[in-house]
Structure formats: structure tokens, C-alpha cells
Amino acid sequence: MIKQKTLKNVIRATGIGLHTGEKVYLILRPAPIDTGVVFIRSDLDPVVEIKASNAAVVDTKLATTIGNGDAKISTVEHVLAAFSGLGIDNVYVEVSGPEMPIMDGSAATFVFLVQSAGIESQSAPKKFIRIKKPIRVSGAGSAQDYGQSVALLPHPGFKVSHTIIYDNAVIREQHACIDFANTDFVKAVSRARTFGLMQEFEQLRELNLAQGGSLDNAIVVDDYRILNADGLRHDDEFVRHKILDAIGDLYLLGHSVLGEFIGFKSGHSENHALRTALIAQPESWDIITFDNHERTPSAYAHLGAVEYAS
């Protein structure tokens, strides 16, 4: 049986917010069975809990933002991707401000924190959302329709593909397809960093955004070159980060997905529309568990065997 998992220990970290540029204190804590991922604004009095769910999404511009009343937390997709990739079902995420720390712009730091805290199995089966019928959403009719589309298709494991097309000599067109039956999240996806054009960062700063953005937490390109001295971590790091974002956004469904995600020129807004469309069609999915290792899809087999020591 693949069991639900949480952390063995509490772990703390400090970073800065990408847009505010302010210091952010982060604490990850173990949580009971069937808690899910719960974010907590620890800087508010009283503190406010925000359950990671599609219903909690309040904004998808530049990042995925969730909220409860007036309390919001933005850029939750990177830590959610880490939880998804490592099979963490139940965890409390305490954050001391309105956005998650950006760390290095990827999910690698969050992976390190989870592995350092240790992963603990719990006495309940892990739940999966299985895609039974195709769900597709296109950008047609959108105020910003540039041919984007997203889809979820039936698949016995977990596969994510994405295509990006930029009018930029460095990024151009990239496509990647990652089948997690053949590789793992940590190796293939977790280190891919967020990216942007230099002129975009300059425009954001004029709007008092991206105040914490730097070459330490994003890949920045101009018209002809990558400005980061250390270059790329993957030849196709740009599209791999879009895959990372998609995995994090999908985890707002509340469970790991058995299916195939396909994105084309898409982002957080399309991912939200896809989740919403899926939830609205209950005949297209169901919730299942695996009670023995023989039935376990190879994409998730590692979740039944591997735990990290504290």
C-alpha cells in the first residue's frame, strides 16, 4: 500500500519575497492524516490558515496566489511542486508574509528542506486523482489569447509535457516531455529556475514588483544572451520550469494525479482554468488508492519504498 506521508520533524528557513523583496520566515511542520497542505500566515493576529485547493486560488498573474478573506500568499507553486514530487500529502506551511520565499527560483531548496526534515509514512492510504476522460481548455475568448492550451488525459502513470514559444533569440521554441515512470522529479525538474526577459523585470520594478528579483533567483535573458554567469542547469531549463509550475499548480487538486498533462504556451491562468474544468466534470475523474505494490504505477513506485532519514 502506498501510504500518506508527512514530515518527521519541523524545519525552518529564511528567504526573500520575489516581489516585495522583504525577508520571509518559513516553517514546515508535520500534519495529521488527511490534512492536506495548509498554508498559515503566521504574521497575522490571529493567524490565518489557507488550505491549498483550487477554491482558494485568488490570482494567477505572474504566480499562483491563494487566499482566505484578506489574507493571501503568492508564489505557492514551487513548494507545492516539491511536495508533489516527494509525495508529501500532509504538511503545515507557516510563512511570515504575503508571499513564499523565492529561494533560488526553483523547487530545489524546498526539496532539500523536506529531505532534511525527513519523510514519515502515515497509517492511511495515499489518495490519487485518476483522469478518466480528456479535459481540454484553450485560450479562445480570453482577453490574452495567443493560442495557449492545456489538457489532462487518461494515463496509467504521470506524464507532463510542455511547449513554449518566445519571440526571443535565446529562448525561442522549447518542448519537453517527462514521463515519471522513467525518471524522478528531483533529478529532472526540481532545479529548473524561473526565468524572464530583462525588459520584463525592468517593467515590473517600475510597477514596484520583482523588488527581490536577481540573478540569484531567476534566469534573466536579454535579446541575445543569458545574463547569469553560471548559465543553464539544463539545456531546456526554460520549459522544464514551466513543467515544474504545472506540477505545483496541479497539486492544488489536493492529490497526486494519475494522468498526462499537456501544456502549450500556457501558464498559471490556464492551469487554474483546467483544474476548474476538471472539478466541474466529476464523471471525468475519480479518487483511488493502491493497496499493494503490485498495482502501483511505476511513476509513483518510489513513494512506497523510499524515505529520507532525519
Cite the active site residues: 268
Q: Find out whether 189 and 247 touch, Cβ atoms under 8 Å.
A: yes
Beta bridge partners of 220: 196
SS3 298: helix
Q: What is the DSSP letter of 2?
A: P
C-alpha cell of residue 239? 520549459
Q: Where are the beta strands (DSSP E) in 222-272?
A: 256-264
Backbone dihedral angles phi then psi of residue 148, each to the nearest 5 degrees = -70, 150
Q: Find out whether 81 and 190 touch, Cβ atoms under 8 Å.
A: yes
> Could you tell me the maximum CA-CA distance found in the chain, to the nearest angstrom?
56
Q: What is the DSSP letter of 223?
A: S
* Rounded Cα gap, residues 173 and 133, in angstroms: 29
